[in-house]
Every structure is written in C-alpha cells, then in structure tokens.
Amino acid sequence: MKYIEELEVGDTFLSGQDNYIVTSDYRKNGSRSCVNLKTGFGKWMEANAVVDICPIYTLDEDNNIVAVKVTEKENVN
C-alpha cells in the first residue's frame, strides 16, 4: 500500500473496487488527478489517500503477458 503522493505518472492502483491510473495533473494541495480505467472518468484523489498498487498487463504478438508499465521489481533479469 502507498500514498497517492508517492505514485508516479502512469502508475496504476486499486481504490475500492475500481482501478485507476495516475495522470500528470495535480493541485496545490497535493491532490492528484486519476482516471478510472473502467469508466474513463477522472477523479481528484487526496495526497494522503492510501491505495493498493495494481499493475495492468497486455498481450504481445506471441500472447505473452507483458506489464504495461515495467517497475523496478519486474525489470530484474
């Protein structure tokens, strides 16, 4: 679990029952603009909101599962 303020642009997370992606927009109070991946609607999330990191995956041309955004943990060879 992490605070919204600790996430980078493009990180995906679970909040409640919905998956979100962090955008580059933010407010002076630290709130971050996030997009609900199911509905496409934006939502301002407070900087101190605690969320579960939840990576999203896609399939490549050989039907291998590949992370959309590779994290440091996944980048280990």
**Which domains does the chain possess?**
2-67 (2.30.30.30)
Phi and psi at residue 3, in whole multiples of 5°?
-80, 150
Q: Which stretch of 20-29, 45-54, 65-74 has the lowest confidence by average pLDDT?
A: 65-74
Give residue 74's pLDDT: 54
Q: What is the mean pLDDT of residues 28-37?
A: 95
Condensed to tens digits (0 to 9), the pLDDT of residues 58-74 reads 999 999 998 888 876 65
Percentage of the chain with pLDDT > 90?
Answer: 75
DSSP for residue 12: E
Give residue 67's pLDDT: 87
Q: How far is CA 3 from CA 11, 57, 62, 76, 77, in A?
A: 12, 22, 36, 25, 28
Give residue 75's pLDDT: 53
